[in-house]
Amino acid sequence: MAKIFAPMTSGSISKRMVSFALPLLLGNLFQQLYNTVDSLIVGNFLGSTALAAVSSSGSLIFMLIGFFSGISAGAGVVVSRYFGAEDEDGIHCAVHTTVAFGLVAGVVMTVAGILLSPQILLWMGTPESVMPESVTYLQVYFYGSLGFVMYNIFVGILQAVGDSRHPLYYLMISSVINLVLDIVFIENFHTGVGGAALATVISQVFSAILCLIQLLRTHESYRLSIADIRFDVKMLKQIIRIGLPSGVQNSIIAFANVVVQSYINAFGEMAMAGYGAYSKIEGFAFLPINSFTMAMTTFVGQNLGARQEERTKKGARFGILTTVILAELIGVGVFLLAPQLIAAFDSTPDVIYFGVEKARTAALFYFLLAFSHSVAAVLRGAGKAVVPMVIMMAFWCVIRVAFLAVSIPLTHAIQMVYVVYPLTWGLSSLVFFFYYKRANWVH
């Protein structure tokens, strides 16, 4: 089987992982630009109320897409296993079953997102002043759910076989489209936050189409044939077995973040805007970490598919160490530059205050978050997705929500929302450390 993209089953471990992760980093950078450009333009052109509306929508969006994204990640692990084993029939079956699942999932998410958005925003305690714009932003966003889901499905397939370059090119193009449309819709056509959401939808659909064309035109074993798109029951079970735990984990953690957002909402628009601005900064700050963890999952999947256990262990150790060091260096930078970074989104003093408080509480503990994510990525690549699901749900959901339910009524202090994140990162990292050291996870 001829391969355009060098598999990760041979050659220098560090070079293979870094060369795979760098395009992912740039691609994730442009992916993050979608919502960040919305926030920058909304905050500067439409004001703090509109920024609060867009910011409060982030947790809900992730909750509804997290489930399907997790299963997409599981599908990528399955494809990478067959690719590492050079099983062309298995790759073909996995690719077409994954695409069939994505089409169904995209339709389901569109309907669910449009219908449930107003009610969930009410449950979150969204202030009345922000509610109309929040509903508009969410509903327009979810009209484009199929494009978002299929983009992630297509990218998962390409990355599973070692192609991290084409998704980067397509994201660069679609990010420019998003930026131009944001300015045109908001500044020229005065469409408000709905225009920002529409710009995101159009750019996401465009990037999905570009990925689709790449899969249709390739001559490799992972080529997509429209006529062959169908469910294979055995393959679907394998994809769900690996992907369902990640999907459940993503959606439940996102639900916990929706609960956290409801506590933020209780402190008013300025707190919502400041917290939302910090969230965008954290998203950018963690791009190198996300890129390495994605590379680690692909590396582990391909090498276990090729039955190279010792190489898998060495790659996992290199990836974990790299992500932890990177995270802490970035965290120091965010800690020092927090006022300037928050002010780029909104120069209102109260917004800067709330954003800087959050940054100065969490940034120096990024290494804990990186460690948990990197070990979880290794375990998912090894097909043990249930373990990170249980650990992250226990600490990032149950304990996080329970802590806030007790501490906020007692203190009435927003700092409790800030401190709960590094607290739960530390607890999950401790459990991950002992599991990783003692469990024979490569089998």
Per-position DSSP letters for 33-52, written without gaps between them = HHHHHHHHHHHHHT-HHHHH
Cα 411 to Cα 186, 245, 398, 403, distances in angstroms: 40, 35, 20, 12
**And the tokens for 184?**
């045109």
Helix %, strand %, coil % of the chain (to 5) = 85, 0, 15
Whose CA is closest to 229, among 78, 364, 99? Answer: 99
- pTM for this prediction: 0.74
**Confidence at residue 30, expressed as pLDDT on a 0 to 100 scale:** 73
Region of residue 52 (phi > 0: left; psi between -120 and 50: alpha; otherwise: beta): alpha
299-327 per-position pLDDT tens digit:
998 898 888 999 999 999 999 999 999 99
Find out whether 172 and 113 touch, Cβ atoms under 8 Å: no
| Helix pair angle (269-285, 48-84), 10° resolution | 30
Q: How many angstroms separate the most distant Cα atoms in the chain?
A: 64
**And the tokens for 89?**
């029939």
**And the tokens for 262?**
């409801």
**Confidence at residue 1, expressed as pLDDT on a 0 to 100 scale:** 40
Find out whether 81 and 235 touch, Cβ atoms under 8 Å: no
151-204 per-position pLDDT tens digit:
989 988 998 888 888 988 898 898 889 889 988 998 888 888 899 889 989 998
Whose CA is closest to 82, among 283, 220, 244? Answer: 220
pLDDT along the chain (443 residues), means of 10: 62 88 80 68 80 71 72 85 90 95 91 87 81 90 91 90 87 87 88 88 93 94 94 92 82 80 87 87 86 89 89 93 95 95 88 93 96 94 89 93 93 92 96 90 72
Find out whether 82 and 91 touch, Cβ atoms under 8 Å: yes
**Confidence at residue 365, expressed as pLDDT on a 0 to 100 scale:** 97
Find out whether 341 and 119 touch, Cβ atoms under 8 Å: no
The terminus-to-terminus CA distance of the chain in angstroms comes to 26
**Confidence at residue 150, expressed as pLDDT on a 0 to 100 scale:** 93
Based on its alpha-carbon atoms, the radius of gyration of the chain, rounded to whole angstroms, reads 21
Q: How many CB atoms lie within 10 A of CB 442?
A: 16
